[in-house]
Amino acid sequence: MTTSTLASRPLGGASSSSVFSRRSPFDWAYALILLAGAGYAFQSYHGSMNSYEIGILLAAVPALIALGWFWGPLRPLVLGVGAATLTAIAMYLQTTDNFGADLSAAEKRFFLKYLLSSQSAILWMGMLVFMSTLAYWAGFFAGKASNALQRFGSQLAWGAVFMALLGTMVRWFESHQIGPDIGHIPVSNLYEVFVLFIWITTVFLLYYEQRYAGREGIRSLGAFVMLVASSAVGFLIWYTLARDAHEIQPLVPALQSWWMKIHVPANFVGYGTFSLAAMVSLAYLLKTTPARTLWISLVAVPAGVLALMGLFWAVGLSPETTQSVLKGARMVAGCMVFFAFAIAVRGTLNERTPSVEVLDDVMYKSIAVGFAFFTIATILGAFWAAEAWGGYWSWDPKETWALIVWLNYAAWLHMRLMKGLRGAMAAWWALVGLLVTTFAFLGVNMFLSGLHSYGQL
C-alpha cells in the first residue's frame, strides 16, 4: 500500500458527510457533560480564577468536544480525568486552612495519599509507563501471545496518560491552595514539563496506533516510542530525589506571564512528536539498513557526541561542567547499549514492525505536526521575550538552539516535499534530529546558561 493511500484513509472509516449529522447519542451526551462540568467549575471556583484561567475554561470546552468527536478514545479519558480531579478536590476541601484546602490531607486520606494527590498520580504514571514499555517489548518475543501483550501495553499506556493528566490537574489545584499568587498551570519547571512531555508523546503514539489500526505490526512501534517515555520517567525520578523537584514553587517574575501557558505546551507537542518520529525512524533503519552499516553507526555517532561533550568540558573546566559531561556520557552510554541490543535482535524485531510505507508515513506526519506546533511556539516565545526582556530575539543559548531545531526540521520537510526525500537518508536525518532536539531541551540546561535557565541540572 502506498503512502498516498495511507494518507487518504479516513480515521475509523468515517464518511465525508456532515460532522453534526454523524454524531451518535454518546457524542451529544459527552458534549453536554462537558458543558455542565464547565458550568459547575465556573460556578464553584470563579472567585479563584484569573482572566487567563477563565479563558482556558471557555476555550477548553469546544476544543475538547471537537477532539472527542474526532477521536473517540479521548471521550472516556477526558470524562474520567475530570471526574477523578473533582473527586480529589472534594477530598481536599473536606478540611481547610487559612488559604483554602488543607494540603496535609494528602498524607491523611487514603485515596489522596495513594492515588489522587498530584505526586501519587505522577508516581503511578511512571510505573505504568515502565510496565507499558515492558509489555510492548515482551510482545516481540512472546510468540502467540505477542498481540495480546502489545495490546496490554497500549492499555497501560492509556492508564499512564490518565494518571499524568490527573496529576497535572490536581497539581494545578494544589498550587492555588498554598498561598496567594502562587497558583499556576504546571508547565513552569523541568519536573512539570517532563510530565507534559511524557503524556504528549504517549498520546501521539496511541493516536497513530488507531490511525493505522489493522496495519500489520503497528502496535510494535510502542516498544520504540515508550522507551523515550521511560527514559523521561527515569530522569524525573532522579530529578525528584536529587532536587526535591516535586515541591510546588512560586513562579519567578519572568514566568508570570500568560504567554508561558501557551508557549510551553506548543513547544512540547513539537518535542514529543519529534521524539516519536526519531524512534519510528530507528525501526525503519533496522528494517532497511545492512547490519554492518548499523554497527559502524553505533560507534561513529556516539563518538561524535562524546567528542562534542569533551569540547564543552575543555572550554568550561568547572566542576559543574564536569558533572554535566559525566551525566551526558551516561545518557549516551545507555543509548549505545540499547542500540546494540536492537541491532543484535533486529531479525526478530523486523518480523513484527510495520511495513516501510507505514513507518515512512508515521515519521513524516509526526514531523509535520511537530514542526507546525514548534513554529507556533517559537513565534509565541518571541512575543513573550519582547514583553519580559524588551526584545523579540536576544540569541540566548536556548533561543539559538530552538532556531537550530526549527531549521533542522524545516530543511527535512523542504527536502521531503520539494525533492521527494525518502528512505534511509530521511530516517537517519530524523534520528540525528533527536540528538539536536535533546540538546535544545536538556543540553542547554546542562552545559550553558542564559535567560532561560529556570531548570538547572
pLDDT, tens digit, 9 for 90 and up, residues 193-223: 999 999 999 999 999 999 999 899 999 999 9
- The contacts of residue 118 (CB under 8 Å, 6+ apart) are 167, 168, 170, 171, 174, 186
- Domain membership flag for residue 385: yes
Residue 16 has pLDDT above 80, yes or no: no
Cβ distance 32 to 76 under 8 Å? Answer: no
Residue 120 sits in the same domain as residue 231:
yes
Assess whether 321 and 380 both reside in one domain.
Answer: yes
Nearest partner of 152 among 127, 130, 131, 166, judged by Cα: 131
279: in domain: yes
> Is the domain of 235 the same as that of 361?
no
Domain count, the chain: 2
Q: Is the pLDDT of residue 5 over 70?
A: no
The answer to whether residue 58 is domain-embedded is no
Dist CA 168 CA 127 (whole Å)? 16
Q: How far apart are CA 142 and CA 146, in angstroms?
A: 5
| pLDDT-derived band at 325, boundaries 50, 70, 90 | low
- Highest mean pLDDT out of 95-104, 132-141, 327-336, 441-450: 132-141
Q: From CA 84, how far away is CA 240, in angstroms rounded?
A: 24
Instruction: Please check whether residue 193 lies inside any domain of the structure.
Output: yes
**305 and 416 inside one domain:** yes
Shared domain check, 189 and 240: yes
With cut-offs at 50, 70 and 90, classify the pLDDT of residue 321.
Answer: low
Domain that holds residue 170: 101-251
pLDDT at position 14 over 50: no
Is residue 144 domain-shared with residue 126, that is, in the same domain?
yes
Q: How far is CA 185 from the centre of its chain?
A: 16
Question: CA of 375: how far to CAs of 196, 263, 359, 372, 386, in Å?
Answer: 18, 10, 24, 5, 17
Last residue of a domain, one of 224, 251, 278: 251
Residue 1 belongs to a domain? no
Domain assignment present for residue 329? The answer is yes
Using left for φ > 0, alpha for ψ between -120 and 50, and beta otherwise, residue 9 falls in beta
pLDDT value for 54: 86
% of the chain exceeding 90 in pLDDT: 56
Phi and psi angles of residue 213, each rounded to the nearest 5 degrees, phi first: -55, 135
Quote the CA–CA distance of 443 and 216 in Å, as a whole number. Answer: 37
- pLDDT for 19: 73
Same domain assignment for residues 275 and 244: no
Joined grid coordinates for residue 383: 512575543
How many Å apart are CA 286 and CA 196, to the nearest integer? 29
Q: Are 85 and 40 in contact (CB under 8 A)?
A: no
The grid coordinates of residue 65 equal: 468536544
Cα–Cα distance between 432 and 281 in angstroms, integer? 10
pLDDT at 11: 44
Q: Is residue 159 part of a domain?
A: yes
Q: Is residue 67 part of a domain?
A: no
**Is the same domain home to 225 and 305?**
no
For residues 193 and 275, state if they share a domain. no
CB of 370 within 8 A of CB of 272?
yes
Whether residue 411 sits in one domain with residue 296: yes
Boundary-marking domain end, from 219, 251, 283: 251
| Residue 101 DSSP label | B
Query: Cell 490536581 sits at which residue?
Result: 170
Claim to verify: residue 157 and residue 133 sit in the same structural domain: yes
Same domain? For 334 and 452 the reply is yes
At position 355, the amino acid (one-letter code) is S
- Boundary residue ending a domain (225, 251, 277): 251
